[in-house]
Amino acid sequence: MTEPLAPGATIGILGGGQLGRMLSVAASRLGFRTHIYEPGALPPAGDVAHLVTTAPYEDSDALFAFATNVDVVTYEFENIPTLTLDALEDHTPIRPGREALRVSQDRLVEKEFLQGLGLQTAPFADVPDMAALATALPQIDTPGILKTRRFGYDGKGQARIMEVGDAEAALAEMQGAPAILEGFVDFSHEVSVIAARGLDGAVACFDPGENVHKDGILHTTTVPARLSAGQRTDAVLLAANILNALDYVGVLGVELFVTPQGLIVNEIAPRVHNSGHWTQNGCVVDQFEQHIRAIAGWPLGDGKRHADVVMENLIGDDMDRVPDLAKDPATALHLYGKAEARAGRKMGHVNRIVG
Amino acid sequence: MTEPLAPGATIGILGGGQLGRMLSVAASRLGFRTHIYEPGALPPAGDVAHLVTTAPYEDSDALFAFATNVDVVTYEFENIPTLTLDALEDHTPIRPGREALRVSQDRLVEKEFLQGLGLQTAPFADVPDMAALATALPQIDTPGILKTRRFGYDGKGQARIMEVGDAEAALAEMQGAPAILEGFVDFSHEVSVIAARGLDGAVACFDPGENVHKDGILHTTTVPARLSAGQRTDAVLLAANILNALDYVGVLGVELFVTPQGLIVNEIAPRVHNSGHWTQNGCVVDQFEQHIRAIAGWPLGDGKRHADVVMENLIGDDMDRVPDLAKDPATALHLYGKAEARAGRKMGHVNRIVG
């Protein structure tokens, strides 16, 4: 399929969390239907989707039925099992494509890919076992951070090594999973670029946002970010570099450390990204619609920002603040419809218009 | 129920067209689920709702099941049968309340209500039959327009009387339905005020929009409207007057003729309104979220406008223009997911940011 999808077509989304939910709403704005595939019961995205399949990612019958009911498949998370993708790809296009998933599913592969493009990353070493860790530590130096190569998110699967004596305990935390050791980067702040590439190869970037994390989870994103004109250009060029190298179709999030030595790529996410939620109230076409436009073969929005925005995540019992937040006329609420406000769980976000 | 609805609650919506669809999306943003009740199969709102009941408005079992599954009922159209409301109201609050429906369902009652508030309307006369029409014509003068008292929309159920000789044919077009004769109003342009009133009695108005109709259907709404400061104040005050008189909860659309003699009320609609669609891209809280906030007992948004917008409806084969419209970076597309682009059918709209 290289023709643009016509309104009325069905977009399949793997994963029914808040990103799938907001993708589904954006798809509806363009006249598309969505079909959510999600193993968990009552997914947040199901409240705003035409169809929901509740089945494991290994259920080949359910996958076949899903694939043959949709016109294109996309996803809200990168850790999709290879077998799931194998089962889908004979029947329907998968966008962004599998190369983006292969690269971003594995921190080691991702870092090697980025360095291959001439981009800066944190110093890193492959750590399959204790012997490798012992060899790596003097190269990378402490403090460092041990991370599982796969399946990490929101600070999960990570252990700090402040001094050499922490190494064994840190490796134990990996629970036998292959890991990499990353050196700390001395950065002044973190920014991210939400970039998109269309089916025709056109690239459009949103203005970089500045991220602040709390307890390993994104707390706020502020646009505009503190960046020089040169840094801003660098950020956009490197994002385009990554998109083109992956022959990417869709929205990609690129997290960058700002350092005196230039921008260092922290990680990439082949999907809409929490640090792009501000676009919902700052742009005519937000990151969710941009992603849908890209995977549907439509023209991209230009990413132009019409307001200064501070996005703040509502985590766990931040939900208690909703009645007060609802009173502020400059605050746009975006709640995810999750029943239980567990600690550390992303329940919603607000976009505050500040200028 | 006078406490604010908590996120996770379910909002029932009578009618599954595009207004129900956009209400459903707005409800999801505040963490609510929606349950659509609609006699027609595959309603546009069903694509973005948690539940859909497909049943006639006279099905008391289906109505009971619906009413007991939701926390509040609202609607996207005013012509809801009285029996439907009777069946619902013992089980769940209906917002806006029945008085607003009683008044707005009947052009005669509506005009008498508006005049009772001291507001100006077009000259009118009750026309139950030909004898009444013969009496009314000299009072109202030609040209005039004969309209069915009930169930008219988008120019349907209307017939012009340019001269006395047209009277009989015009009455025949009413097909025996009770009608009123309205005199023409000599107005320079039409504007509408989208106003909201909360459960606490607070009132908030969006900036008036200027409407242009084509073939009896709204074509464009432009904000800001051409109004003097005094007219703007009058428009807001009269909308508040109407809302308070009805003890209204929700969003109400008020169509006004601008004349040298002041603002003349054309009609009111007890629901979100086509001429308020511009708010989706011009305000932090749009008319759909404003309505949901009101009926959920939440604080209202303040209605502040942050952009100049031209809303244009996409009717019938305007859908052929979608590929071109999608290329314009200042244009936000809103499509309704309707399968068949029949002539005169509202298929979507665009909001063009013009400043």
A253, amino acid identity = G
Q: Place A216 in a pLDDT band, splitting at 50, 70 and 90.
A: confident
In percent, the amount of chain A with pLDDT more than 90 equals 89
Give, for A19, the enclosing helix (H) or strand (E): helix A18-29
Q: How far apart are CA A100 and CA A233, in angstroms?
A: 23
A351 to chain B: closest CA residue? B284
Out of A121-135, B169-183, B265-279, the most confident range is: B265-279
Q: How far apart are CA B257 and CA B151, in angstroms?
A: 22
The three-state secondary structure class of A99 is: helix
Q: How far apart are CA A203 and CA A56, in angstroms?
A: 34
Instruction: Return the pLDDT at A157.
Output: 84
Inform me whether the pLDDT recorded for A134 exceeds 60: yes
For residue A28, give Cα distances in angstroms to A45, B153, B333, B354: 12, 26, 10, 24
Q: Judge contact between B96 and B195, C-beta under 8 A.
A: no
Question: Where is pLDDT greater, at B3 or A281?
Answer: A281
The verdict on a CB contact (< 8 Å) between A7 and B335 is yes
Instruction: Return the pLDDT at B300.
Output: 98
Instruction: Return the pLDDT at A175.
Output: 87
User: pTM for the whole thing?
Assistant: 0.96
Q: Place B1 in a pLDDT band, splitting at 50, 70 and 90.
A: low
**Mean pLDDT over each residue of chain A, to the nearest integer:** 95
Q: Judge contact between B329 and B351, C-beta under 8 A.
A: no
A contact test, residue of B21, B302, B333, B353 with most A CBs within 10 A: B333
Inform me whether the pLDDT recorded for A222 exceeds 90: yes
The dihedral through the CA atoms of B163, B165, B169, B172 has a sign that is positive
Inform me whether the pLDDT recorded for A225 exceeds 80: yes
pLDDT digits (tens, 9 = 90+) for A139-170: 998 899 999 998 766 667 899 999 988 989 99
Instruction: Return the pLDDT at A1.
Output: 53
pLDDT digits (tens, 9 = 90+) for B137-178: 999 988 999 999 987 666 678 999 999 889 899 989 988 889
Q: Confirm or reject contact between B354 and chain A (CB < 8 A).
A: no
Instruction: Return the pLDDT at A154.
Output: 64
The alpha carbon of A196 is separated from its chain's Cα centroid by a whole number of angstroms, namely: 12
Q: How far apart are CA B178 and CA B330, in angstroms?
A: 46
Inform me whether the pLDDT recorded for A68 exceeds 80: yes
Which residues of chain B lie closer than 8 angstroms to A33, CB-CB? 47, 337
Of B26-30, B54-58, B146-150, B226-230, the range with the lowest mean pLDDT is: B146-150
Inform me whether the pLDDT recorded for A276 exceeds 90: yes
Q: Place A122 in a pLDDT band, splitting at 50, 70 and 90.
A: very high
Which residues of chain A lie closer than 8 angstroms to B326, CB-CB? 293, 298-299
In percent, the amount of chain B with pLDDT more than 90 equals 89
Instruction: Return the pLDDT at A290.
Output: 98
Q: Confirm or reject contact between A348 and chain B (CB < 8 A).
A: yes
Work out the number of other CB atoms within 10 angstroms of the CB of residue A212.
Answer: 13
The verdict on a CB contact (< 8 Å) between A30 and B335 is yes
Q: Which residues of A223-252 are buried (b: 16+ CB within 10 A; e: fewer)?
A: bebebeeebbebbbebbbbbbebbebbbbb
Q: How far apart are CA B11 and CA B73, in angstroms?
A: 6
Q: Judge contact between A337 and A44, C-beta under 8 A.
A: yes
Relative orientation angle of helices A82-89 and A60-69, to the nearest 10 degrees: 50
Instruction: Return the pLDDT at B355.
Output: 72
Q: How far apart are CA B339 and CA A9, in angstroms?
A: 10
pLDDT digits (tens, 9 = 90+) for B179-232: 999 999 999 999 999 999 999 999 999 999 999 999 989 999 999 999 999 999
The verdict on a CB contact (< 8 Å) between A284 and B319 is no
Mean pLDDT of B46-75: 97
Query: Token match 């503190």: residue?
Result: A226
Which residues of chain A lie closer than 8 angstroms to B198, CB-CB? none
B348 to chain A: closest CA residue? A31
Q: How far apart are CA B16 and CA B66, in angstroms?
A: 14
B contact test, residue of A11, A28, A290, A353 with most B CBs within 10 A: A28
Q: Confirm or reject contact between A350 and chain B (CB < 8 A).
A: no
Q: How far apart are CA B192 and CA B242, in angstroms?
A: 14
Q: How far apart are CA B116 and CA B108, in angstroms?
A: 12
Mean pLDDT of B262-282: 97
CB pairs under 8 A between A and B: 101
Relative orientation angle of helices A18-29 and B18-29, to the nearest 10 degrees: 160
Of A122-136, A150-164, A262-276, B324-338, the range with the lowest mean pLDDT is: A150-164
Mean pLDDT of B341-347: 94
Task: Note which residues in 24-53 of chain B have CB less than 8 A from chain A.
Answer: 24-25, 28-34, 46-50
Work out the number of other CB atoms within 10 angstroms of the CB of residue B320.
Answer: 10
